[in-house]
Structure 1
Amino acid sequence: MSKVDKIQFLEVLENEVEQHLKIAIHTFQNLNEAVLLQTPNDGGWSIAQCFEHLNSYGLYYLPQIKNGLDNHAKHSLSDSFKSTWLGTYFTKMMLPSNTKKYKAFKGHIPPVNLHAHAVLAAFIEQQETLLSYLKQARNVDLDKIRIPISITKWVRLKLGDTFQFIIAHDSRHIQQAQRVLAEIGNYQKMS
């Protein structure tokens, strides 16, 4: 992958996170708890489970990102970012355009019984935190800071790759939640 302008790269990611916030607040936040907890007919996750899955990743990655940002002083500043092949691979796996299904890793499988509104509130808070970290990242070298991935601490992605992966993963499951909402709405109309 070729080098990209760091500020433009971060602005694209910030816009995606802002879109995620908008969808969470305007589409899901004020839905009835029963709707948020209703599982689709195919036996997949409820809307609340989709967001709880994302929250589990946020609980891992946000502190890792904060740590990387807090300890950035030893890194020289760069105006560009270049993704690694592994970062690109993980991001492409998570893009909503990739229709292949993946099994959630242990520790990231959401329970059925959830307090749905608390789950949405936690997601919104995590997205606001992620947005603040993206803004802080303008002042660090995205190539030098390495973040251990959640499935094995031995593999570390560049901070820029970590941002891309998390945001693609968020998009994937927000779209899943939107499909569940559409299915529930269509099912209720037929009843």
Structure 2
Amino acid sequence: MINLLPPETQKVVTNPHLKTLLTDIAAINEEVSQLLSHYSAEQLTWKPTPTEWSMAECFDHLMVFGHQYYPKVQQTIDQTRQKNLRESRPFRPSWLIKMFVNTQKPSSGWKTKTFKNFEPAQSPDDSTGQRLLEQQKTLVDLIRQADGYDLNRLKLTSPVTWLLKFSVGEALWMLVVHQQLHLH
């Protein structure tokens, strides 16, 4: 397994939902590491068809997704902490988010078109996977910061449209499931 953070910052997470997400991220990171160690630069940037993404493009897409979501999640966690909204009930996603997450699971077979603002770079290089692993530290840190606070109450808006709002718990869950989708 990849050590995601220095030992002094590895706070023990107590929330069951967040614990599951950390376990999932560790598996994702292990999978990315395996891909990087088993495939050449040429293989990582190879596209199966002109309309399908290479592995490097999938990694880049996940990084673009993170760049747009992580600051919004951080801002919402900061607001939750400032208001001292401590965890008082278990994480409860809305029916809409449950439905969305189920369509994003690798087993769903559901395909969706990527919004323009989440498309990967035209020509990502073979270092994109390593950069994704570095960016994963931010996601792990966000999860650790959210522990002990209300995952349901404050909402963040989607980078796609202000009409979509998610709780911190929902956003973190969607981010992890989205990564799983692109790695299977």
**Contact map agreement 1:75 1:144 (CA 8 A) in 2:** no
TM-score by length of 1: 0.82
Alpha-carbon distance in structure 1 between the residues aligned to 2:108 and 2:84: 35
Q: Specify every segment of 5 or more residues in structure 1 that has no aligned partner in the other structure, as ranges.
A: 1-5, 176-191
Given the alignment of the two structures, is residue 28 of structure 1 paired with residue 36 of structure 2, yes or no? yes
Given the alignment of the two structures, is residue 54 of structure 1 paired with residue 62 of structure 2, yes or no? yes
- Offset of 1:100 from its aligned partner? 1.7
Where in structure 2 are the equivalents of 1:1-191 lying within 5 Å? 7-28=15-36, 31-41=39-49, 43-72=51-80, 73-79=82-88, 80-117=90-127, 119-175=128-184
**Contact map agreement 1:87 1:162 (CA 8 A) in 2:** no
Judge which range, 93-102 or 106-115, deviates more.
106-115
Matched length: 169
Flag as ranges the 4+ runs of structure 1 deviating above 3 A.
Answer: none
- Offset of 1:29 from its aligned partner? 5.3
TM-score by length of 2: 0.84
Q: Which has the larger radius of gyration?
A: 1
- Offset of 1:109 from its aligned partner? 1.9
Supply the RMSD in Å over aligned alpha carbons.
1.8
Q: Specify every segment of 5 or more residues in structure 2 that has no aligned partner in the other structure, as ranges.
A: 1-13
Alpha-carbon distance in structure 2 between the residues aligned to 1:39 and 1:153: 34
- Offset of 1:153 from its aligned partner? 2.1
Alpha-carbon distance in structure 1 between the residues aligned to 2:176 and 2:134: 15
Which residue matches 2:4? none
Give the secondary-structure state (helix, strand or coil) at the position aligned to 1:139: coil
Alpha-carbon distance in structure 2 between the residues aligned to 1:160 and 1:146: 9
